[in-house]
């Protein structure tokens, strides 16, 4: 993916995926470029033209804009799903609201991710389409904290948004590709299928009747062969916590629970969900291998 600073594997743990390692903006541009290029890693080019003092061109970088010459790192189906998730504004509304700087006006096709390290030392916003990748980092030169009010969405994203808007305006005019103007949406590749699923369970609706599917629905994309099984939703009597209205836990005292008939869904790993309880609730047993 182009990350050149990962030289000490023994020092990395699960937090590496959430920003627990040192990376460079240059490398992150290459990594997100893999997603933008449907899984192909392309090296960055900093100097595109060299001229003499009279303006005569001595050297010029003229790649074939329609051919990716780098190494394939990821399957196009995987990058499509990632890009699709990252441009879904509804998926980030709970954290950022509906009108954050992650939304580039007039360009809903932009995939974007923020990042904030401990103590607000680093703010990141990285976004892309198939035409461009823009990486923005905000921080202090001495690595000191920027204070609690600054995060990836409040510190880096306003700068990123302005740059991305300018870049995409040029893209719409054909500055980067004569054959690709306007909105560059991710193209659905082979190996990806769309399917209607239950919005509350994530599984396939119990009924194939479009007028009465048996659950609230939404449309999602999946890797071929991974469309979820049919959701088995049943109505049964369960114990409800008097105070919360949610599913009672096994440790709740008998005088603090009562019985109600609710819609129950059990997912493939055995986790039980009450679909129509007043608050989201679930019970699960997790066995760690260490």
d(CA 192, CA 189): 6
**Residue 240 structure tokens:** 């409800």
Read off φ and ψ for residue 25, nearest 5 degrees. Answer: -55, -40
pLDDT tens for the chain, residues 1 to 290: 888 888 888 877 777 766 677 888 999 999 999 999 999 998 888 888 999 999 999 998 877 665 777 889 999 999 999 999 999 988 888 888 888 899 998 899 999 998 887 778 888 999 999 888 999 999 888 988 887 667 667 788 999 999 999 999 988 887 777 666 667 788 899 999 999 998 888 889 988 888 888 888 999 999 999 998 888 888 889 999 998 888 888 899 999 999 999 988 887 777 888 888 876 544 544 443 33
Q: Which of 72, 96, 223, 71 is nearest to 156 (CA)?
A: 96
Q: What is the DSSP letter of 227?
A: P
Secondary structure of 181-192 in HEC code, one letter for each residue: CCCCCCCCCCCE
CA 13/CA 265 separation, integer angstroms = 34
Q: CA-to-CA distance for 196 and 221, rounded, in angstroms?
A: 9
| Domains present along the chain, CATH in parentheses | 9-172 (3.40.710.10), 191-231 (no CATH), 233-290 (no CATH)
CB 163 within 8 A of CB 104: no
Q: Any bridge partners for residue 282, and if so which?
A: 273
**DSSP H helices in the chain:** 25-36, 76-86, 93-96, 157-172
Amino acid 66: pLDDT: 59
CA 290 – CA 196 distance, rounded (Å): 38
């Amino acid at each position: 993916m182009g990350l050149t600073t990962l030289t000490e594997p023994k020092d990395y743990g699960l937090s590496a995926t959430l920003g627990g390692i040192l990376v460079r903006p240059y490398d992150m541009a290459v990594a997100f470029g893999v997603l933008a290029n449907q899984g192909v890693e392309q090296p960055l080019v900093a100097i595109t033209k060299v001229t003499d003092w009279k303006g005569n061109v001595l050297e010029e970088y003229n790649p074939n804009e329609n051919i990716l010459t780098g190494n394939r790192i990821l399957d196009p189906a995987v990058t499509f799903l990632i890009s699709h998730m990252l441009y879904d504004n509804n998926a980030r509304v709970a954290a950022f609201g509906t009108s954050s700087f992650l939304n580039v006006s007039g360009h809903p096709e932009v995939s974007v991710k923020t990042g904030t390290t401990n103590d607000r030392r680093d703010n990141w916003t990285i976004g892309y389409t198939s035409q461009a990748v823009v990486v923005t980092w905000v921080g202090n030169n001495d690595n000191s904290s920027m204070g609690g009010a600054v995060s990836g969405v409040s510190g880096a994203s306003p700068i990123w948004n302005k740059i991305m808007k300018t870049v995409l305006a040029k893209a719409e005019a054909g500055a980067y590709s004569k054959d690709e103007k306007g909105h560059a949406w991710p193209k659905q590749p082979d190996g990806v299928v769309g399917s209607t699923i239950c919005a509350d369970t994530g599984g396939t609706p119990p009924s194939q009747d479009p007028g009465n599917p048996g659950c609230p629905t939404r449309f999602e994309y999946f890797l071929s062969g991974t469309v979820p099984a049919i959701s088995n939703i049943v109505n049964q009597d369960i114990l409800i916590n008097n105070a919360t209205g949610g599913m009672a836990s096994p440790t709740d005292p008998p005088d603090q629970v009562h019985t109600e008939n609710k819609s129950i869904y059990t997912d493939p790993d055995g986790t039980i969900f009450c679909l129509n309880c007043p608050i989201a609730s679930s019970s699960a047993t997790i066995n760690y291998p260490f």
